[in-house]
Amino acid sequence: MNAFKVDWNQGQVEALLDRISDYQVPAAMESAGWAMGVDPEFLSRLQEYWTKQFDWQACVDNLNKFPQFIADIDGLPVHFVHVKGEGDVRRPLLLTHGWPGSHFEFWDVIEPLAFPSRHGGDPSQAFDLVIPSLPGFGFSGQPDRTMTQRETAACWNKLMTEVLGYPRYYAQGGDWGAIVTSWLGLDHGENVEAIHLNMLGFRSMTPPQNEEEKQWQTAADGAGRVYGGYSSVHMFRPQSIIAATAGSPMGQSAWIVERFHDWADLRQRSFEDVFSLDRLITNLMIYLMNDRFASAVRYYPGVVKDGFGVLPPGTRCETPTTFAATTGDALSPVPPRSRVELVYNVAGWQSIEEGGHFLAMETPETFVKAIREWLG
C-alpha cells in the first residue's frame, strides 16, 4: 500500500482545456431545455466557465485534502481514501460510489462522519472511512477484462480485512455502490456487520405480490424507459458510445452531466443549486484527466455476467440491511418494503424526502443524519 496524491501538471490540463474550448456545442432544433437530452445552453455555460474561470489548481488541492492510497489487490491497483475518525473506538465504514460519479461524491460527508465533534456531533459517532474508486474509475487501475460487481465486492472485502486490518466493518452505497454493497452483504456476512443502501441492488424473480408492488413495477418500468436507455447501450453496446465520444472531452461530459441533471432531486432547487459548476467539473476532471470514460462504461457488462442482480427464489441477503427510501430519485422509484424484504433482511427503513440518486453529494446533511441514525 502506497500513499497517493493527485498530480496534474499544467501542460496536461491546458491540453484538455484546449480541446474543451474547441468544441462546438450543437444547436437544439427547438428551445427544449433538457427535454431532449443535455441542454445546449447549459453545455455552453459549462464550457465557458470551465475554460475561463475554473481554478484547476484549487481542484487538485481539494482532491488532496484527505489521505489516500493505492493498494495492489490481485493485480489491480485500487485507489481509496482512508480517514481515521476521532476518538479511540474504531468504527470502519466502507462507502462505494456509482456511475457517473466518483469517490468525490462523498467529499462533503467525510468531515462530519469522521470528526463529528467539529460539526455539532459527539465523538462517539465517529467512523473510520474507506472510500475506494471502482475498478476502471478515477485513480484505480483499468481491469484487462470485464470485472463484475460481485468480484468488486470480493476485492473490497480484501481491502478492508487484509490490507487495512478491519475484520468487521459496515458498508454503504448507491447506484453501483448499492449493488457492490449488496454482494458484500450476501457473500461476506462474516465480515460485514450491516449494510445501508440508497438504491435497490438486488431484485427477486417473484412476480408482484400486491397492488402496491404492481404500481411500483409500473413506475420503475416507466423510469427505465425515460432515464435508463443509456444503460442498455453501456451493457450491450459499450464500444459504440466509447467510439462516438472518443477524443471529445465535451462529448463525454455531456453524456455524464445529463445523468446528474436527470437523476437529481430538482423539485425544490435548480440543477446548479444542487451541483455547482465547480463540483460538476471536479467530477468530470477525475474522468477526463485519467482517461476513465471508456473503462467506466466497460464496467456495465459485469452486471450482465452477475445475472442483473436477480436472486433466485430462496436466496436472500441476510446481513442486516437499512434502506434509505429517497423520494427524489427519478431513476429509481421507491420500492415497497415488502419487495425489498424478498431479497434483504430489512433491519431498518428510512423515509427521506429530500435528495435524489446522488444522496451524499446532493444533500450531505441528510446523508450524514441517515448514517448516524442507522448506526446510532
Per residue in 243-299, pLDDT (tens digit) is: 999 999 999 999 999 999 999 999 999 999 999 999 999 999 999 999 999 999 999
Output the pTM of the full model: 0.97
Mean pLDDT estimate for the chain: 96
Q: How confident is the model at residue 338 (pLDDT cuts 50, 70, 90)?
A: very high
Pick the CATH number of 11-19+38-375 from 3.40.50.1820, 3.40.190.10, 3.30.565.10, 3.50.50.60: 3.40.50.1820
Q: How confident is the model at residue 89 (pLDDT cuts 50, 70, 90)?
A: confident
Residue boundaries of the structural domains of the chain: 11-19+38-375
pLDDT number for residue 32: 74
Q: Which three cell numbers stand for residue 161?
A: 480485512
Euclidean distance between CA atoms 348 and 161, whole angstroms: 26
Q: Which three cell numbers stand for residue 307?
A: 445475472
pLDDT number for residue 28: 79
pLDDT number for residue 275: 98
Nearest to 25 by CA among 37, 43, 51, 38: 43
Q: What is the 3-state secondary structure (H, E, C) of the chain?
A: CEECCCCCCHHHHHHHHHHHHHCCCCCCCCCCCCCCCCCHHHHHHHHHHHHHCCCHHHHHHHHCCCCEEEEEECCEEEEEEEECCCCCCCCEEEEECCCCCCHHHHHHHHHHHHCHHHHCCCHHHCCEEEEECCCCCCCCCCCCCCCCHHHHHHHHHHHHHHHCCCCCEEEEECCHHHHHHHHHHHHCCCCEEEEEECCCCCEECCCCCCHHHHHHHHHHHHHHHHHCHHHHHHHHCHHHHHHHHCCCHHHHHHHHHHHHHHHCCCCCCCHHHHCCHHHHHHHHHHHHCCCCHHHHHCCCHHHHHCHHHEECCCCCEEEEEEEEEECCCCCCCCCCHHHHCCCEEEEEEEEECCCCCCHHHHCHHHHHHHHHHHHC
